Structures are given as structure tokens and as C-alpha cells.
Structure 1
Amino acid sequence: MSEAQGKSTGVVSGAGSATTSTVISETKTAIDTHGNTFKVPDYTIKDILSAIPKTCYNRSLWWSLHYVVRDVAAIAVIGYVGTNYIPQWFPNSALLRGAAYMIQSYLIGLFGFGLWILAHECGHSAFSDYNIVNDIVGWLLHSWWMVPYFSWKFSHSKHHKATGHMTRDMVFVPYTKEEYLEMKKKSVLAEVLEEAPAVTLFNLIAQQIGGLQLYLATNATGQPYPGVSKFFKSHYWPKSPVFDAKDYWYIILSDIGILCTLGVNYLCYRAYGSHFVLINWFLPWLWVNHWLVFVTFLQHTDPTMPHYDAGEWTFAKGAAATIDRNFGFVGQHIFHDIIETHVLHHYCSRIPFYNAREATTAIKKVMGEHYRYDGENMWKSLWKVARSCQYVDGSNGVKMFRNTNNIGVKSE
């Protein structure tokens, strides 16, 4: 990969006997997948935080709770209307009833992911000023969607502390060139079909449907932890290397939340039947899984996105290795702006989402060209990213995405 060191020189002249002072600042660069020059950010985290208005940090318990009530109410209304009226609307057409039930599950899944985001706010203490309230609300909401709350909270915190770090980040850690080629050698079929769009499509479908559960169960896309079996890297295992020893009982409490959800759904099955659980919980749960992987993947993977070796990484650089995208009405009003203000979220995760747009405007003035935004349709971006971002490569501490599909710049 072609990489360079860029320099900018400023000269300050003094009068009389004063000497001329030359200040040289070096900006490390790399070449992204598109062939454009990427400049490593040179501002500090202090510069970023100083630019954010103090009012953006204000958290209102009642305003946050009103979003929980709103989303729960929307799910309840959709479920009630669909369950009771779809059979009346389409009494003679199983096909139309099926289509209507799919729409019902989809809509519940949208607001379900909205609740997931509010639980995520709780995990960052952005929901309210009261940690006990944050943890109770977060545990309830995440448990309902089969995410172990404290387990996620702890591993997600480590992700925020090391975003873009090749050996410390916790999710969507990319393959290096060497790791990717070694993986391909182990699969003859992969070697033959690696450039086929059908393979990309299959991998995307598998990722979107099962990616979250695979991550929770085996720490897939996280750090490898050599010598530890997949099960014992699980978010459900209290002694997993993902966690610290002090987290043990919190992981147990997270697992209890999962068991409670399974128990409640079993009781619903006994009382109302399998169809009720399928349409009102299981299929929406699959949608929530999809949205989480969809959003997270595209927030942290892009042809313009760097990753850093340990010697080059700083918090300010890593937080900038994220990207804001646009998901229209749904992104802003149902997904609580998690897509549109994610860069800000990585610089200061305690700012509640309803103040994040104002804070984003403020930090963009500091970040300048280092702020990333892509307003392209996110479904198009998903395909492009999957085809072009297969591994990272670089020799100067800054690694950029490359691929074997002959898209963009090739590795050396």
C-alpha cells in the first residue's frame, strides 16, 4: 500500500537580532481504499470536549423515560391492532394475512430497536443522572431483546475506550492482510469463490441474521484471546476474558435477565399460542438483531476508515475512526439519532441523544476534514462496504481497508 509522511512548515520572523523560528509539524498519512490521502487527526480530546456547549450534557430522567413509554406504547398498539384486526381485515386470504403479519413484526422491530438504543443510553449513563435507574431500565429493556445488559455494558465500554485499536477494540476488529489470506488458505471453496457477489450476499445475510448472537455467544469479530475456546469467550460466561473479575455477579444477573425473557415468552406461548409469540416477539427480535448489526457495522466500517496499531493509536484518533450516516425519518425519530450522531457519541457517550445534534455541530468545527459523513442510502453502503472492506493493511501504524475483489487500491 502506498503511504507517505506529509509535512507543513510555518516560518515566524523576528526583528533586529531575533532569529527566525521555523515550526515543522508532521501529519502522518495513508491511502484509503478509494485512492484518496487520509490524514491522521492532529487535534486532542481536550479540543473536542472544550467545543461542546455545557448544556449538551444535561440529562433529564423524565424526558428520557417519556421515550421509553412512547416506544412501548407504539409496540403495544401495533401488536394489539395486528393481532385482533388482521384476521378480520383479510379473512379469506392467507397470503394477505401473512403479509400483514410481516408488516406488524417489522414495525414492532423498528420500535424494539428504539428501545434497544435507550437501553444502550442507560449503559453509558446518558439516560439519567441516577445510575440505579439507568441500570434497572437498561437491564429490563436489553433483557427483553435477549441482550445480557451488564455483559454488553462492560464490553461496550471497552470498545469505546479503544475504538479503532487493532489489539484492544472489542467489536468489528478487522482482519489484517496476513490473517485474511491465512483464513482463505484453509478453505478451498473460499479461495475459488471469494470474488463472487453471491458469496458476499450469503455472508451479509448470515451476518445480519446471526451476527449479534454469534458475537454474544463466541465473541466473533472481537479480540481472539488465543487458547480460550469460543464458549468461554462468551458474553454469558462470567469468567470470560472479555470481563474483569469484579464483573462476575453482574454477568450472572445479565444471564438471569435472559432466562426471565424466555420464561415470559413461554408463558405467553401457553396462554396465547405460538403464533402470538412468533409475530409479536420472535420475528421482531430477529429484526432487532438485524438493525443492531446493520447500524454497528456501518458505523465502524468504511473504505475511508482507518485502524491503528498500538503505537499510533490515541483516543482522539480512534473516536474519529467512526462515521455518521443518514437513515431518514426512522434514524432520527425511531432509532434516536444513533446513526446520525455516532461520531459525537464516541467522543462523549454521556451526552443524551436528544442533545447530540447540537454537540455534533460543535465538534465538526474542530474535526474539520476528519469528520466523516455519508448520506448515501445505507442499503447501498452495506453492499459496497461488504465488497470493499475485507481486511486492513499498512506499515506505518495506520491501516486502511483493502479487498481481493479488485475494488480500489490494491495491497502491495
Structure 2
Amino acid sequence: MQVDRVPPGATDAEFSAYVRSAQELDFTLQDLKAAIPAHCFQPSVLKSLAYFFLDLGIIAALYAVAHAINSWLFFPVFWLAQGTMFWALFVVGHDCGHGSFSRYKWLNSLVGHLSHTPILVPYHGWRISHRTHHANTGNIDTDESWYPMDESTYQAMPWAQKMVRFYGALFAYPFYLFFRSSGRSGSHFMPSSPLFRPSERRDVLVSTLCWSATVVFLAWVGLTQGLLFLATYYIAPYLVFIVWLDLVTFLHHTEPDIPWYRGDEWYFLKGALSTIDRDYGFINPIHHNIGTHVAHHIFLAIPHYHLKTATEAIKPILGDYYRRSEEPVWKSFARSFWACHYVADQGAKVYYQPHPSYRQ
């Protein structure tokens, strides 16, 4: 039996989970990998850089147009467009964090910082916690991103925490960076955080210093140009970016019929299949087809520009294990926003239970 790929720095337990995933389903990771054209696993430096510079070019052009027009009639359009491009730039850094931008670690780190630092994301801090998410997807106990809580924990939560976690979900990301998420502590900025291994602390410090320099620069812009200028040209697009990030991440992993696992019921491949592809319409190519998420969770080294091809190759093998929603994303979000708050306290395989106030 062959095991295709384990997460970077996988523990013995994670490796064993990969082995078991090849034993318990009627298809293996090797079956899925063999079905995908080999070129899908090969990033192109030129193509990856082209997407990076295209995003930067569009961002620069939007700034130039907004400054030239300088009209409050146009600024809302600018905020929406620029915030969306900030999100697209984040996705480029996302590829860097997975090593799917290029095979050169130094280039991934360079472009990752250039993509994430201007939008106030600490690249290495995020990269490391995101690695944990991918190694534990679908595991209630160890997943890192948008994992459910059990009912008793939910009922015991202070109202303010519920407001941030559930009703302020689309603006939660900055809080997550500083405080992590419900029931799990750790800052993405502190090298001593339990999120990181001792060997990773230098990288975290570098990203935190880059992030801090950006904050100082933005403060200087606010002092010299005025807070209204800073809010118009940076804060408003940044908030749109945050909404995009939280919306898409939430929709990847939150749906009433997506199972979550505890204990020995969980293993990597089954957990990786606890996600769903979404159709964002004309936005798909703008944010680099990030809605093509199932294949990404199975093989995180595939560059974003090969994910659609990889998905079509593995769909016949996955069968009913492949999930894709064709309904409008706003409708899916509205349903999951109200219905997906907690899971049962007990059970090895569980689903979100609707809140008592939820009505379909």
C-alpha cells in the first residue's frame, strides 16, 4: 500500500491516519492521485508570478482610478472592487503557504509576505496554523478553522463571545489572529504561542515584525493624510476583504449535512472530504477559483490554476463523497448562519444541530 503525501511535519499519529484512510474507504489517496494528470502537481513559477503581478496591477489601477475620480459616488464601487482584490491577493499568498506557488521555499516566503503583509496577515503565523487546519480537517477536537462546538459549550458561552463567534462571523478574522478561536488560545503574532514549535518561532517573529511595520506605516498615513483618507483608501477595502475571507472560509466547512468526527472515527481522507465546493459566479476567476475546495483539501500541493482539472478527474472516483453546492452562496450562507451553531455533546460522527430559534 502506498501513502501519497502526509502534511508537512506530520506526527506519527497523522501518518497512521493517512494509512488508515487508505484502508477504510473503497478508494485510496493513490487512486485519486493516479486519476489526476501529473502536470496538475507541478507549479509553474511564471504562471504563479503572473497571477501575483496581475493582482498587484489591478490593485494599483483601482487606486489610480479612485484617486483620479475622487467622488463619493464612486468610492463604494472602489471599496467593493479593491476589497475583492485584497482577497484575491490573499489567495496568492495562500498558495505560497502551501508550497503550491513554486517549489522554491524562499520564493514562497517572499511572495507570501508581499501578498499578506499589506493586508495585515502575518504570513508565517497564518501559514503554520493553516497547516494545522489542513492536517486535521473535520476533526472536532483538533481542527483549527470554523470547527463546531458541542452544545454544552455553546450554552455556557458568554453572550459577548457568542456575538463575535456567530453573529459577527463575517468580521471575525482579526479576532482570530489575535486570540484564536473559541476554547483554544494562542496568538498568531507571538513566537511563544502554543500554535508554534520552537523551530518555527524565528519565522513567526519575522512575519510579526513585517506586520508591525505595516501598522506603523498605516498610522503614519492616517496622521499625515487624515483619518478620512486612510478610511477611504485602506480601511473600507480591508473590511470588504475580511468579509470575503470569513464568508468563503465559513462556506467551505459549514453546512448542515457535512459530518464532523471525534476520536478514532476521524482520519485524514474522510476529514478532508468534509468540505464543499461552491460556485461564486463571475467572481470565480477573480479570486483564483478558491471555491474549488475539495480537491485542494485532499492534495494541498496542487496550484489553484490546476484545481478545476484535478476536481473533474477525481469526481468519478469520489462519487457521493464529492460535495458541490449549486445554490447561490448568499442562500447557503443564510441557512448555515442560522442553523449551524453546535453539535451534540456525544457521538463519534455528528452533524450541526439547528438552533431552537431556527426555522427553515
- TM-score bin (small chain): 0.7 to 0.9
Does residue 1:405 correspond to 2:352, yes or no? Answer: no
Q: Percent identity?
A: 31
List aligned pairs for 1:80-99, cutoff 5 A.
Answer: 80-87=64-71, 97=72, 99=73
Return the alpha-carbon distance in structure 2 between the equivalents of residues 58 and 173 of structure 1.
31
Q: Do the aligned partners of residues 272 and 407 (structure 1) sit closer, same or farther apart at CA in structure 2, a change above 3 Å counting?
A: closer
Q: Which residue of 2 aligns with 1:105?
A: 79
How far the C-alpha of 1:181 sits from its partner, in A, is 3.0
CA displacement, residues 273-332 of structure 1 (integer Å, 9 cap, x when unaligned):
4333222211111111111100000101101111101211111100000000110111x2
Letter of the structure 2 residue corresponding to residue 386 of structure 1: F
Q: Give 1 or 2: higher strand fraction.
A: 1
- Identify the residue that residue 114 of structure 2 maps to in structure 1: 140
- Hey, what does 1:54 align to over in structure 2? 38
Q: Which of 323, 326, 331 is the equivalent residue of 1:375? A: 326
Deviation of 1:403 (Å)? 1.9
Task: State the shift of 1:182 in Å.
Answer: 3.2
Deviation at 1:42? 4.5
Residue 260, structure 1, aligned to residue 213, structure 2: yes
Equivalents in 1 of 2:148, 2:299: separation in Å?
Answer: 24
8 Å CA contact 1:150, 1:251 repeated in 2: yes
Name whichever structure is richer in helix by fraction: 2
- How many residue pairs get aligned? The number is 337
- The superposition leaves residues 249-284 of structure 1 with CA deviations (integer Å, 9 ceiling, x where unpaired) of 111111111112123323434554433322221111
The verdict on how the C-alpha distance between 1:204 and 1:81 changes in structure 2, with shifts beyond 3 A counting, is farther
Is 1:165–1:318's contact at 8 Å kept on the other side of the alignment? yes
Q: Taking structure 1 as the reference length, what is the TM-score of the superposition?
A: 0.77
Provide the residue aligned with 2:170 in structure 1: 208
Kindly provide the amino acid, as one letter, of the partner of residue 141 in structure 2.
Answer: T
Following TM superposition, by how much is the alpha carbon of 1:41 offset from its aligned partner in structure 2, in angstroms? 5.5
Distance change in 2, residues 1:105/1:404 (3 Å):
closer
Shift of 1:359: 0.1
The one of 58, 67, 91 equivalent to 1:74 is 58
- The letter of the residue matching 2:312 is T
Distance 1:68 1:246 in 2: 29
The correspondence for 2:125, drawn from 138, 151, 154, is 151
Q: 1:333 aligns with which of 276, 285, 288?
A: 285
Q: Is 1:294 the counterpart of 2:247 in the alignment? A: yes
**Which is higher, the Rg of structure 1 or of structure 2?**
1
For structure 1, which runs of at least 5 residues remain unmatched after alignment? 1-39, 88-96
List runs of 5+ in structure 2 lacking aligned partners: 1-23
Measure, in 2, the Cα distance between the counterparts of 1:405 and 1:41. Answer: 35
Q: What is the aligned partner in structure 1 of residue 314 from structure 2?
A: 363
In the alignment, structure 1 residue 386 sits paired with structure 2 residue 337:
yes
Q: Which position in structure 2 is the counterpart of 1:345?
A: 296
The answer to whether the Cα contact below 8 Å between 1:394 and 1:400 also exists between their aligned partners in 2 is no
Contact 2:340 2:355 in 1 (8 A): no
Counterpart check, 1:219 vs 2:219:
no
Instruction: Give the aligned partner of residue 34 of structure 1.
Output: none
For 1:58-84, what per-residue CA distance to the aligned partner results, in whole angstroms no more than 9, with x for missing partners? 211111111111111111111111112
1:241 match: 194
Contact 2:124 2:204 in 1 (8 A): yes
Inter-CA distance 292–41: structure 2 relative to 1 (3 Å threshold):
farther
State the secondary structure of the residue aligned to 1:49. Answer: helix
Contact 1:61 1:128 in 2 (8 A): yes
Q: How many Å separate the matches in 2 of 1:326 and 1:306?
A: 21
| SS of 1:139 mapped into structure 2 | helix
Q: Partners in 1 of 2:343 and 2:356 — Cα distance?
A: 14
Q: Does 1:277 align with 2:230?
A: yes
> Where does residue 43 of structure 1 map in the other structure?
27
CA distance in 2 between counterparts of 1:362 and 1:242 reads 35
Structure 2 CA distance, aligned partners of 1:379 and 1:170? Answer: 24
